[in-house]
C-alpha cells in the first residue's frame, strides 16, 4: 500500500474491450495530470475545471504522442475515494495503457495495490468495512440472488442493522459502567430484569444473523446440489438433462461414475452447483470405493440432495433409501428431494400407486421424471428453487455472506451468553461489563469501528487491481 497523501494509479478495466480506464487518486492528482494531458479546447484549464467534468484531449510525453483520451475529474471529497481523483479513458491497446502508467510513474505517481482505492474510500469515511467488502462481492456475483445480497450490503443495509445492535449494547454498557463508578454506594441504575430482556433480544437477532450464513454463503458461492442414488438409476443422465449437454458419461455398466462430476447452472435467479456422484452400493474395487467415500463427503456439504430412484422400485424401498441418505447427510440440514426417474418404463397404475403410497412413508417432496422423454423437468426446477429459502431474500439485510462477519457474530453471541449467565448466577458487575465490552468490540470489527491492521490487510489483499 502507498503512503497516505501519495497519488496512486492503476488500470481499472480488464482486457477484451475497445476502451480501457486508468484511475488515479490522491492529493495533486489533477495538477499532475495537467502535465501530460492537453484538452482539445484551448480555453479549458483542467486545474481550474469543476468536479464531474469530462474533458476530451490528448496525452503526450515531451514530443511523444500517446493517445486521444477522455478525462473524468472528481474533486475531494465528492469522489469514490474521498480524495481528488481522475479517470483516463483511452484505447485498450496494452502498449497505450502501459505507456500512460509509465509516464505517470515518472512524475511520482505510485502503482496501486489490490483494493487500495476501496481501502482509501474506507479510511476516508466514504463507506464502512462491510460495505467495502461488498464491493468485491458485487464484482464476483454470479447470480441475481448473489448480486442482490451484495448490493444491499453495499448500500449499507447490513451495516445499519449491525450499528443498531451496537448502539443498543453501548447504551446497555453505559448503565453497567455507571454502576461500577458508584459501586461503593451500591447504586443500581438499571433493572436487572429489563437488562436481561434487552440482552436476550439482541442475542436472538445476532443468532439469527449467524444462522443465515449457511444460506448466504451458499448463494454467494453457488448452492451445492448432490445427485445421489444407486448405480444405473440415471444420475448422470439427470445431470446432462439439467445442463442440456453431454457432461457426464452415461452407460448401462454399473459403477461408471467413479468420481464426482461438478457443473454450475443458473435456475430461477440462483446459482446451483450440481454434483454427480458415484452410485451407492458395495464397491467392486478400491477406485469405486474411493468414489463412494467422496459421495458420502459431498452429502455432508450439500444444501440440496436429489435422491434419484426408479419408478419401478417399491415405495418402501424408495422411502428407506431416502432415510439412509438423510443419515449420510448427518446434521448438515440438507433438503432432500426424491427424483423418481424412468417414469416412462412404469405403467400409469404403478405411478399412481407410488404417488399414493410415498406420502405415507416419508414427507419428502417427490418429482416423477423421465430422462428419456424429459417429462417432469420443469416441475423439478420449480421444486429445486422452492427448496432454497428464497423467502428470506425479501430481507437481504438479515443474511450474512461473509465468513469474517459470521465469526464475529459467533463471538458476540458467546459474549452475550456469558452476560446472561452472569445475571443468572449473580456474577460481579465488573465481569459482566467485560463481556458486554467484548460484544461491542466484535460488532465494531464487522463495520470497521475497530480496525486491526491485520484484518484490513487480509480483506483488501483479495481485491482486484484498480478497485
The pLDDT score that the predictor gives to residue 93 is 93
- β-strand 223-229 against 304-310: which pairing, if any? parallel
Decide: 201 and 419 in contact? Cβ < 8 Å.
no
- Chain mean position to CA 445: 18
| Burial grade of 331 (CB within 10 A; 0-12, 13-18, 19 or more) | exposed
Distance from C-alpha of 152 to C-alpha of 137, rounded to nearest angstrom: 11
The pLDDT score that the predictor gives to residue 258 is 41
Contacting residues for 108 by C-beta, under 8 A, at least 6 apart:
7, 32
The pLDDT score that the predictor gives to residue 76 is 95
The pLDDT score that the predictor gives to residue 240 is 83
Place of cell 445421489: 228
Place of cell 441475481: 144
Could you give the 3-state DSSP secondary structure of residue 414? helix
Decide: 351 and 343 in contact? Cβ < 8 Å.
yes
Decide: 316 and 361 in contact? Cβ < 8 Å.
yes
- The dihedral through the CA atoms of 179, 181, 185, 186 has a sign that is positive
Report the DSSP beta bridge partners of residue 71: 55, 88
Q: Which CATH superfamily is domain 132-212+400-448 in?
A: tRNA modification GTPase MnmE domain 2 (1.20.120.430)
Which grid coordinates belong to 69?
483520451
Confidence (pTM): 0.77
Decide: 110 and 124 in contact? Cβ < 8 Å.
no
Which grid coordinates belong to 361?
412413508
- Chain mean position to CA 441: 23
Query: In whole angstroms, how far apart are CA 62 and each of 31, 36, 65, 96, 371?
Result: 17, 8, 8, 16, 69
Decide: 2 and 8 in contact? Cβ < 8 Å.
yes
Q: What is the DSSP letter of 394?
A: G
The pLDDT score that the predictor gives to residue 259 is 47
The pLDDT score that the predictor gives to residue 245 is 64
> Long-range contacts: 326-329, Cβ < 8 Å, 24+?
328/296, 328/299, 328/300, 329/299, 329/300, 329/302, 329/305
Nearest C-alpha neighbor of 228 from the set 293, 289, 297, 306? 306
| Burial grade of 188 (CB within 10 A; 0-12, 13-18, 19 or more) | exposed
Q: Which fold has domain 8-126?
A: Gyrase A; domain 2 (3.30.1360)
Distance from C-alpha of 450 to C-alpha of 363, rounded to nearest angstrom: 48
Residues 227-243: tens digit of each pLDDT? 888 887 888 888 888 88
Q: What is the DSSP string of 119-173?
A: HHHHHTTSS-HHHHHHHHHHHH--SHHHHHHHHHHHTTHHHHHHHHHHHHHHHHH
Contacting residues for 51 by C-beta, under 8 A, at least 6 apart:
73, 74, 75, 78, 79
Q: What ranges do the domains of the chain cover?
A: 8-126, 132-212+400-448, 227-263+274-392
- The dihedral through the CA atoms of 8, 14, 16, 17 has a sign that is negative
The pLDDT score that the predictor gives to residue 392 is 65
For the segment(s) 227-263+274-392, the CATH number from 3.40.50.300, 3.40.50.150, 3.30.420.40, 3.30.565.10 is 3.40.50.300
In the chain, which residues have pLDDT < 70? 1-3, 179-192, 245-260, 278-297, 330-332, 389-394, 451-455
Decide: 367 and 178 in contact? Cβ < 8 Å.
no
Q: Furthest-apart CA pair in the chain: how many Å?
A: 87
Amino acid at each position: 500500500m502507498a503512503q497516505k497523501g501519495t497519488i496512486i494509479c492503476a488500470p481499472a478495466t480488464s482486457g477484451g474491450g475497445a476502451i480501457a480506464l486508468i484511475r488515479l487518486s490522491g492529493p495533486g492528482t489533477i495538477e499532475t495530470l495537467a502535465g501530460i494531458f492537453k484538452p482539445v479546447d484551448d480555453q479549458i484549464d483542467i486545474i481550474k475545471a469543476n468536479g464531474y467534468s469530462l474533458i476530451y484531449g490528448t496525452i503526450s510525453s515531451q514530443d511523444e504522442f500517446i493517445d486521444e483520451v477522455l478525462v473524468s475529474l472528481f474533486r475531494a471529497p465528492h469522489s469514490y475515494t474521498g480524495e481528488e481523483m481522475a479517470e483516463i479513458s483511452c484505447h485498450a491497446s496494452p502498449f497505450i495503457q502501459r505507456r500512460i502508467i509509465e509516464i505517470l510513474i515518472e512524475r511520482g505517481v505510485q502503482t496501486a495495490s489490490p483494493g487500495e482505492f476501496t481501502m482509501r474510500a474506507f479510511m476516508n469515511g466514504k463507506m464502512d468495512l462491510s460495505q467495502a467488502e461488498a464491493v468485491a462481492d458485487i464484482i464476483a456475483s454470479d447470480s441475481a440472488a448473489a448480486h442482490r445480497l451484495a448490493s444491499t450490503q453495499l448500500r449499507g443495509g447490513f451495516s445499519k442493522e449491525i450499528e443498531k445492535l451496537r448502539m443498543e449494547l453501548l447504551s446497555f454498557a453505559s448503565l453497567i459502567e455507571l454502576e461500577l463508578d458508584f459501586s461503593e454506594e451500591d447504586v443500581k441504575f438499571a433493572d436487572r430484569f429489563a437488562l436481561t430482556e434487552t440482552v436476550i433480544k439482541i442475542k436472538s437477532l445476532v443468532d439469527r444473523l449467524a444462522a443465515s450464513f449457511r444460506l448466504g454463503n451458499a448463494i454467494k458461492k453457488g448452492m451445492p446440489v448432490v445427485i445421489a442414488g444407486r448405480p444405473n438409476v440415471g444420475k448422470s443422465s439427470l445431470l446432462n438433462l439439467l445442463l442440456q449437454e453431454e457432461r457426464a458419461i452415461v452407460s448401462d455398466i454399473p459403477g461408471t461414475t467413479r468420481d464426482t462430476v461438478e457443473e454450475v447452472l443458473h435456475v430461477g435467479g440462483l446459482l446451483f452447483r450440481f454434483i454427480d456422484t458415484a452410485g451407492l452400493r458395495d464397491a467392486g474395487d478400491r477406485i469405486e470405493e474411493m468414489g463412494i467415500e467422496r459421495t458420502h463427503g459431498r452429502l455432508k456439504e450439500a444444501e440440496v440432495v436429489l435422491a434419484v430412484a426408479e419408478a419401478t422400485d417399491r415405495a418402501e424401498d424408495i422411502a428407506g433409501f431416502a432415510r439412509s441418505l438423510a443419515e449420510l447427510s448427518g446434521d448438515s440440514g440438507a433438503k432432500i428431494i426424491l427424483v423418481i426417474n424412468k417414469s416412462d418404463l412404469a405403467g400409469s397404475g404403478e405411478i399412481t400407486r407410488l404417488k399414493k403410497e410415498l406420502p405415507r412413508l416419508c414427507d419428502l417432496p417427490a418429482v416423477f421424471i423421465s430422462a428419456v422423454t424429459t417429462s417432469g423437468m420443469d416441475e423439478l426446477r420449480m421444486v429445486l428453487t422452492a427448496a432454497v429459502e428464497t423467502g428470506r431474500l425479501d430481507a437481504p439485510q438479515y443474511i450474512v455472506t461473509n465468513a469474517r462477519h459470521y465469526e464475529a457474530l459467533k463471538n458476540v453471541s458467546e459474549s452475550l451468553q456469558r452476560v446472561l449467565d452472569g445475571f443468572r448466577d449473580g456474577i460481579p458487575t465488573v465481569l459482566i461489563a467485560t463481556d458486554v465490552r467484548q460484544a461491542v468490540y466484535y460488532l465494531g470489527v464487522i463495520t470497521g469501528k475497530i480496525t486491526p491492521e491485520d484484518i484490513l490487510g487480509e480483506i483488501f489483499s483479495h481485491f482486484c487491481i484498480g478497485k
